[in-house]
């Protein structure tokens, strides 16, 4: 397996709400890499080139849209012509977009969809980014792109008992400090069975799933309320605000306070 290098958003577009670039050249190569704190969208404008995700090569076909999350290693190469748009969005901003669209927690990893008819949205974002990347341009872009992922709900194929346990967990927020123990009680299965099932259907361990639900609520509270960071931590089931802040920064690339500040710059407001 080849080496992987990690890219941080600060080295791509420090301070900007997004970064968009048109790749249109022969003999193009991007070595195997992953992202630390941003998601990447790749939209193929013309057939050509090979995209390798987790060591699995795939021909790049016109109108294909790839969504790549932090930690997903990939590369691109071609000896012929290659034309695609690459968009990078900080994890903090992407999470807020999913939250306000009602899609948080439903878009899994390693997503690629056929998306004819949206090339203009990508090329418009490139042009806007060349002038002055603005949050409103990203919101307009997201209104076109996010619905394309609506058919990739991670819970679509869950067995009934697991779906009900996950829904029950969301309803029992006042018990979130119990973590996986609460999920186990609601599922009424062994830890091993829960772990195998969640890995199979969601691609996550129980503890990873619980943390994602907590972080989803944290994002909503940071953007939509004026609650202190310690209050947000408690409402999300964390008894230690320092640990919460550390875990939040590891998942989003920025601490909670910076996430709140960046979300305001993109155009999300908080309630009074």
Q: Which of 7-11, 33-37, 67-71, 161-165 has the highest mean pLDDT?
A: 161-165
Average pLDDT over residues 42-51: 89
Average pLDDT over residues 11-19: 89
Confidence of residue 24 (pLDDT cuts 50, 70, 90): confident
Core vs surface per residue 99-110: b (16+ CB within 10 A) or e: bbbebbbebbbe
Residue 264: partners with Cβ closer than 8 Å, 6 or more residues away: 270
Q: What is the average pLDDT value for the chain, to the nearest integer?
A: 84
User: Which pLDDT value is given to residue 155?
Assistant: 40
User: Which pLDDT value is given to residue 2?
Assistant: 58
Confidence of residue 154 (pLDDT cuts 50, 70, 90): very low
User: Which pLDDT value is given to residue 271?
Assistant: 47
Q: What is the rounded CA–CA span in Å between residue 100 and residue 267?
A: 12
Name the more confident of 24 and 138: 138
Q: What is the rounded CA–CA span in Å between residue 25 and residue 15?
A: 28
User: Which pLDDT value is given to residue 91?
Assistant: 79
**Residues, the chain:** 272
pTM reported for the whole predicted model: 0.63
Structure tokens belonging to residue 87: 């968009």
Of 6, 45, 39, residue with least CA distance to 22 = 45
- pLDDT tens figures, 208-261: 889 988 998 998 899 889 999 999 999 999 999 999 999 998 888 789 998 888
Q: Could you give the percent of the chain with pLDDT greater than 90?
A: 39
Structure tokens belonging to residue 184: 């186990």
- Residue 184: count other Cβ atoms within 10 Å of its Cβ: 18
- pLDDT tens figures, 114-134: 888 899 999 999 999 998 888
The C-alpha angle with vertex 186 and arms to 206 and 231, in degrees rounded to 5, equals 70
Name the more confident of 255 and 152: 255
User: Which pLDDT value is given to residue 103?
Assistant: 67
Residue 4: partners with Cβ closer than 8 Å, 6 or more residues away: 32, 33, 34, 73
């Amino acid at each position: 397996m080849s080496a992987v290098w990690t890219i941080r958003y600060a080295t791509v577009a420090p301070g900007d709400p997004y970064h968009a670039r048109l790749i249109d050249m022969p003999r193009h190569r991007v070595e195997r890499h992953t992202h630390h704190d941003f998601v990447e969208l790749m939209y193929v404008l013309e057939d050509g080139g090979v995209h390798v995700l987790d060591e699995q090569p795939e021909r790049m076909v016109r109108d294909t849209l790839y969504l790549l999350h932090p930690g997903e290693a990939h590369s691109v190469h071609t000896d012929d012509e290659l034309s695609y748009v690459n968009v990078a969005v900080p994890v903090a901003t992407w999470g807020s977009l999913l939250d306000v669209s009602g899609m948080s927690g439903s878009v899994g990893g390693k997503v690629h969809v056929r998306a004819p008819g949206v090339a203009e949205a990508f090329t418009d974002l490139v042009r806007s980014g060349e002038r002055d990347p603005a949050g409103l341009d990203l919101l307009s872009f997201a209104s076109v792109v996010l619905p394309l992922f609506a058919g990739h709900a991670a819970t679509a194929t869950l067995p009934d008992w697991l779906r009900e346990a996950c829904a029950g967990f969301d309803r029992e927020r006042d018990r979130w400090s119990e973590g996986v123990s609460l999920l186990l009680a609601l599922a009424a299965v062994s830890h091993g069975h829960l772990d195998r099932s969640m890995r199979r259907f969601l691609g996550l361990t129980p503890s990873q799933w619980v943390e994602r639900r907590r972080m989803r609520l944290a994002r909503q509270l940071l953007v939509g309320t004026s609650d202190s960071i310690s209050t947000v931590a408690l409402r999300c089931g964390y008894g230690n605000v320092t640990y919460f802040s550390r875990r939040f920064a590891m998942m989003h690339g920025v601490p909670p306070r910076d996430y709140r500040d960046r979300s305001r710059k993109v155009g999300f407001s908080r309630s009074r």
